[in-house]
Amino acid sequence: MSSEIYRDMILDYYRHPRNYGSIEDAEIKVQESNPLCGDDIELYIKFDEEKNVKDIKFKGRGCAISVASASLMTELLKGKKLDDLLSFSKKDLLEALGIETLGLNPVRIKCALLPYKALKIGVYSHIGKKLSEEEKHILDYESESQQD
Amino acid sequence: MCPDLLDPEIIKQDFPIFKRRVYGKRLIYLDNAATTQKPRQVIEAMREFYQDYNANIHRGVYRLSVEATEAFENARKKVAKFINAKESEIIFTKNATEALNLVAYSWGLNNLREGDHILLTEMEHHSNIVPWQLISKYTKAKIDYISIDKEGLLVDDEVDRLMEKRPKIVSITHVSNVLGTINNVKKIVEHAHKIGAITVVDAAQSVPHMQVDVQEIGCDFLAFSGHKALGPLGVGVLYGKRDLLEDMNPFLGGGDMISRVWLENSEWNELPWKFEAGTSSIADVIGLGAAVDYLNSIGISRIRKHEIKLTKYALETLSEISDLKIYGTNNLEQRGAVISFNLANIHPHDLATILDEEGIALRAGHHCAMPLMNKLGVAATARASFYLYNAESDVDALVEGLNKARRIFKL
């Protein structure tokens, strides 16, 4: 049943978003939105000298799933290396959210992946890789877990 | 039972889709402002076409083509009669959006220039905003928007103020797809004509639900879609006054819309075919004809009465849910069967997911009206929209679903 997604953990991450806010001198600043529902996220990442995530924050408005996802994602990625951000997969995020097996419909999976899309676009542009429209499309549409 | 009142349970028997189950529950379809379900009669008319007389229309001399042409043109007669127009003034498009684009391009592009004004309202669907923005880009004509008040009604003073700018064209929705507001289009058309403006009415949300008479409204153009009126997807309608359509250039060029073609130029076909380039969606047009027959057999005024009763019931029961905010007016005379709302700070998408599990189909989002969402100060709303097959029990299920959402979100 898909309403099982709204269990305490998700609601807690939604109501009390971790790492909410912005970082003035962030190396990565990216804004992504889901035109379907008007959800909107800004993601900020600041690295230390060894290219580890020193700070990561997000802000924006969205549904419980997208906000909880962003909230949890920032928590997972704090302290991680740049390479870890590159290898971080949809599967990693969906598993952490515990929604892989819930049979959530593709529209709502897209909500969960909005922060992921922002992350990938931000990180790729940081290392000088520009994503084509097609690659961006794959980021939010293909809900199956796959290696990026 | 009063013969004036509809029995939605009997109506439902004409709609095969209501036999299906959603997650083991009965289907409660509350997204009629997006598209409506199809009665057996419509599905059957289309099946018959494909199975018994599928052929291209107008040019064929053989039996099948003659039958197809007759059925196609007969559907045009039905649609014309339905809104009190002449057959030659009914143009089939692929949807209401294309109908509005047709006016924007064929009329707007040739008649608007820098310094001219286009008058719209803040409650328009994107389909009655974006085509004009495109035309405004090409012609440098300026767009003004009539603002709405807290109740979701057009502000009369604003109408007067913006009419003073002498817009060349006024294009307004008859019924808002978000607020349900029924605009007094007749009055606005009269005002617009006094200052010499051309008038367009977006009737996508009105034609399926209430008596719409183009002579009574007096508008120059009126657009609606078939699929929101029990008809199939893929066909829309543009009504246009004959003298205006005659003066306009075609929107799309191709087969069927010409009378003669040379290498250098072409002569346009007569109305309405001048505006129907290429092979039309024939089965869909025939299906729309069957939908009009069906609506006539029920009676559009009975449908309106049923919807007023149901909307009243829904407004009353929904307003008992705490933290539920309903947008739009409470005046049932000025409101169609559309109710947009938000429940506390639960995102409409989360609401829709919870309701989906109860078999309830309800829309959540910006409803293709982002400027209106900005005006309401929200990113999105949930929206329930009713039709002739909806019953009070559907509203009760919605209320129950919303209470479940309150429990899940611990409100």
Residue B263 DSSP SS3: coil
In sequence order, the 6+-apart residues with CB closer than 8 A to the CB of A28 are A43, A44, A45, A46, A122, A123, A125, A126
Among B296, B324, B355, where does a domain finish? B296
Of the candidates A104, A99, A93, A113, the one whose C-alpha atom is nearest the C-alpha of residue A41 is: A113
Indicate if B368 belongs to the active site. Answer: yes
Is B220 inside any structural domain? yes
pLDDT of residue B60: 83
Q: Is there a contact between B164 and B196 (Cβ–Cβ < 8 Å)?
A: no
Number of domains in chain B: 2
Q: What angle do CA B263, B264, B268 make, to 5 degrees?
A: 90
Residue A26 DSSP SS3: coil
Number of domains in chain A: 1
- Answer whether B375 touches A (CB < 8 Å): no
Mean pLDDT of the region A108-123: 93
Question: By residue range, what is the domain housing residue A50?
Answer: 2-141
Q: Do B348 and A37 touch (CB under 8 A)?
A: yes
Same domain, B317 and B333: yes
Paired tokens of B214: 């183009």
In the block, tokens 């409650």 appear at B123
Same domain, B164 and B249: yes
Question: Which residues of chain B does A38 touch, with a Cβ-Cβ cutoff of 8 Å?
Answer: 365-366, 370, 373, 379-380
Give first-to-last CA distance, chain A, whole Å: 29
Residue B201 DSSP SS3: strand
Q: Is there a contact between B288 and B235 (Cβ–Cβ < 8 Å)?
A: yes
Out of B350, B370, B404, name the one closest to residue A63 (CB).
B350
Is B281 inside any structural domain? yes
Is B35 inside any structural domain? no
User: What does the alpha-carbon distance between residue B307 and residue B11 come to, in Å, rounded to a whole number?
Assistant: 14
pLDDT of residue B3: 65
- Answer whether A53 touches B (CB < 8 Å): no
Same domain, B355 and B287: no
User: What does the alpha-carbon distance between residue A30 and residue B122 come to, in Å, rounded to a whole number?
Assistant: 31
Test mutation, B353, B367, B375, B410, chain A, max A CBs within 10 A: B353
Same domain, B49 and B75: yes
Q: Is there a contact between B339 and B328 (Cβ–Cβ < 8 Å)?
A: yes
Among B296, B311, B333, where does a domain finish? B296
Torsion of CA B318, B19, B38, B7, to 10 degrees: -60
Is A132 inside any structural domain? yes
Q: What is the mean pLDDT of each run of 10 residues along chain B (411 residues)?
A: 81 98 97 98 98 93 95 98 98 98 97 98 97 98 97 96 98 98 98 98 98 98 98 98 96 90 91 94 98 98 98 97 96 97 94 96 92 90 98 98 95 88
Of the candidates B118, B115, B154, B155, the one whose C-alpha atom is nearest the C-alpha of residue B134 is: B118
Same domain, B245 and B325: no
pLDDT of A147 strictly over 50: no
pLDDT of residue B25: 97
Same domain, B247 and B358: no
Q: Is there a contact between B187 and B216 (Cβ–Cβ < 8 Å)?
A: no
CATH number assigned to the domain comprising residue B343: 3.90.1150.10
Same domain, B82 and B152: yes
In sequence order, the 6+-apart residues with CB closer than 8 A to the CB of B249 are B106, B110
- Answer whether B409 touches A (CB < 8 Å): yes
Same domain, B194 and B98: yes
Is A146 inside any structural domain? no
User: What does the alpha-carbon distance between residue B383 and residue B403 come to, in Å, rounded to a whole number?
Assistant: 16
> In 10 A of CB A112, how many CB atoms?
26
Same domain, B262 and B151: yes
Same domain, B155 and B279: yes
Of the candidates A55, A72, A75, the one whose C-alpha atom is nearest the C-alpha of residue A114 is: A72
Query: How far is C-alpha B252 from the geometric centre of its chain's CA atoms?
Result: 22
Q: Do A64 and B380 touch (CB under 8 A)?
A: no
Is A148 inside any structural domain? no
pLDDT of A148 strictly over 60: no
Burial zone of B375 (CB within 10 Å; 0-12 exposed, 13-18 middle, 19+ buried): middle
- Answer whether B249 touches A (CB < 8 Å): no
> In 10 A of CB B387, how many CB atoms?
25
Same domain, B66 and B164: yes
CATH number assigned to the domain comprising residue B239: 3.40.640.10
Is A72 inside any structural domain? yes
Question: By residue range, what is the domain housing residue B92?
Answer: 43-296
Test mutation, B340, B346, B350, chain A, max A CBs within 10 A: B350
Is A147 inside any structural domain? no
pLDDT of residue A108: 87
Among B296, B330, B346, where does a domain finish? B296
CATH number assigned to the domain comprising residue A127: 3.90.1010.10
- Answer whether A76 touches B (CB < 8 Å): no
Instruction: Please count the CA atoms within 13 angstroms of the CA of B273 that sit on its side-chain side.
Output: 18
pLDDT of residue A131: 76
Q: What is the pLDDT of residues A46-84, one digit of tens each?
A: 999 999 999 999 999 899 999 999 999 999 999 999 999
Question: Which residues of chain A does B408 touch, with a Cβ-Cβ cutoff of 8 Å?
Answer: 3, 6
Same domain, B291 and B304: no
Greater pLDDT, A110 or B44: B44
Is A110 inside any structural domain? yes
